[in-house]
Structure 1
Amino acid sequence: EAIDPVRFIGNHSSGKMGFSLAEEAAKRGAKVILISGPSSQKINNTNVELHKVTSAKEMLSKVLEYYDTTDIGIASAAVADYAPKEVAKEKIKKNDENLTIELVKNPDILKTMGEKKTHQFLVGFALETQNEEENAKGKLEKKNLDMIVLNSLRDEGAGFKNDTNKIKIFTKTEKTEFDLKSKDEVAKDILDFVEEQLLK
C-alpha cells in the first residue's frame, strides 16, 4: 500500500506459499489464475496465468474479474488490512517533525468472496500469534469458508521468511494437523485435502 512514490506499507510475506500452491495445482491439471502482490517468486508452469497487483483494492478487483468462473478459490495472500488515506504524489521529505499517517480500512477480500460464493469451494488462511485455533475457526465461520489453513508464528520454522511451514486444517467438522514440511510439500497436503473434501 503506497505512502508516496517511494515508500509503502508492507509485511514480511514472500508469497512463496501461494506460488507453491499455484505450481502444484497446475501440475495436477488445473487452469490456475494467480493474483499476487509484490513478490520476487517466479512461476515456471505455463498453466498458471499470473496477475500482479500492488494494493488490496487492485487485488479485490482482479479477484472479482475471475471469481464467477472459479471452481476453487484459495486465498493465501497476506493482504494489508489498512492503507494510507492519502497517497502523496511526491516523495515525503524528512524534517524535524514527527510524521503521522492516517490509515483507513481496506476491503475484506476473503469476506467478499464468501458473501458472493455460489458453487466455489473456498479456502482461507490464518496466520496467528495467539488464540490460534479459536481465531481460525472464527474466521472459517464468519467468512463462509469451506476450510481454513492455520499456521502460527509461534511454531519454529513456520510462517514468513521460511521455506518450511507447519499447518493445521479446519473444516466445519474436523481438524487435521501436519508436521513441519517444505512449502512445496505443504502445498501438496493442502491440495490433497481439498480433493478429498470435493469427493465427499
Structure 2
Amino acid sequence: MSDARPIRCLITAGPTREWLDPVRFITNPSSGKMGYAIAEAARALGWTVELVSGPVALAAPEDVELEKVVTGEEMLAAVQRRFPKCDVLIKTAAVCDMRPKQAAAHKVKKDAISWTVEFEPTPDILKTVAATKQPGQVVVGFAAETQDVENYARKKLAAKNLDFICANSVAAGGAFESDHNEIALIGKDGSLVRIGPASKTDVARELIAQLAPHLATRA
C-alpha cells in the first residue's frame, strides 16, 4: 500500500469584476458551474482540491478549500500563492481581460458620467503562472471562444506553455450560464479528446478521468 499523498488540484472558476466606481463594474456571463463541477469531480476521485472563485451564486463544494476573490489582481495573487504546492492547475475562470485605467473612489452621479472610458489589460493569470511551472506540474487552460474555437485553443496552448487546453464554445447557446457543455481536450502532444455534449457534471467527471493518468501521485 502506497503512502503517497493525494494529488493536489488547484482550480479557478467563475468571472472576475473590474470596478468603474464602488457601485459599477464590468464582467462577463460566467456562472462558475464548470469550475465547481470539476472541483467536485476531483474531490470525488480523492484529490485534495483548492478552489479560487470569482463572484458566483453557487454553494461551496464539500471538502474543498474555497477562496473567494473579485478582481483579476486578487485571483492572480491567490493562484500564485497556491500554485507552487499543487500538482495540477485547472483554470476555468473567465477573467475579465480589461479594467478601467482609473476607477472613481466614490459613486459617479449620472449627470457626471463620462461616456468614454480608457481601459488597460488585466494580468494574464494563466501565462504568468504557467511560466513558473516546475517539472511534474500540469497546467490545464480553457479557451472560451465564439468562432474557430479549436484553432484559437491550439494557439493559446502553445503561447501560454500549457499541457492541455479545453476548447470551449461560448457562442449563443454555448457554455456560459448553461448546465451543459461540450469541450475538446487538446494536449501539447497533439492529442484530442472530445467530451460531451453532456451535463457539466458529466463533462467534469470525464475531464478528470482523462487527466488522471498524466498525474503521478507524489510521495
Paired amino acid for 2:124: D
Task: State how far apart, in whole Å, the 2-side matches of 1:26 and 1:51 are.
Answer: 16
Does residue 165 of the first structure (1) align with residue 181 of the second (2)? yes
Does residue 114 of the first structure (1) align with residue 133 of the second (2)? no
Rate the CA distance shift 1:115–1:91 in 2: closer, same or farther, 3 A.
same
Task: State how far apart, in whole Å, the 2-side matches of 1:147 and 1:111 are.
Answer: 13
Paired amino acid for 2:61: N
1:141 to 158, 170, 174: 158
Higher strand fraction (1 or 2)? 2
Tell me the equivalent position of 1:130.
147
Q: Do the aligned residues in 2 keep the contact of 1:129 with 1:153 (CA within 8 Å)?
A: yes
Tell me the equivalent position of 2:98.
82
Structure 1 residue 97, shift from structure 2 partner: 6.6
Paired amino acid for 2:129: M
Does residue 65 of the first structure (1) align with residue 77 of the second (2)? no
Unaligned runs of 5+ in 2: 1-17
Tell me the equivalent position of 2:46.
29
Task: State how far apart, in whole Å, the 2-side matches of 1:42 and 1:97 are.
Answer: 36
2:206 to 186, 189, 193: 189
Deviations 1:65-114 (A, max 9, x none): 11110101000000011111111111111117752221111110000121
Task: State how far apart, in whole Å, the 2-side matches of 1:177 and 1:24 are.
Answer: 18
Structure 1 segments, 4+ long, off by >6 Å, are: none
- What percentage of aligned pairs have identical amino acids? 42
SS at match of 1:117: coil
Tell me the equivalent position of 1:8.
25
- The two structures, once aligned, show a CA RMSD in angstroms of 1.5
State the aligned residue count: 197
What's the TM-score once normalised by structure 1's chain length? Answer: 0.93
Q: Do the aligned residues in 1 keep the contact of 2:53 with 2:93 (CA within 8 Å)?
A: yes
Paired amino acid for 2:205: K
Deviates more, 1:139-148 or 1:97-106: 97-106
Task: State how far apart, in whole Å, the 2-side matches of 1:4 and 1:59 are.
Answer: 20
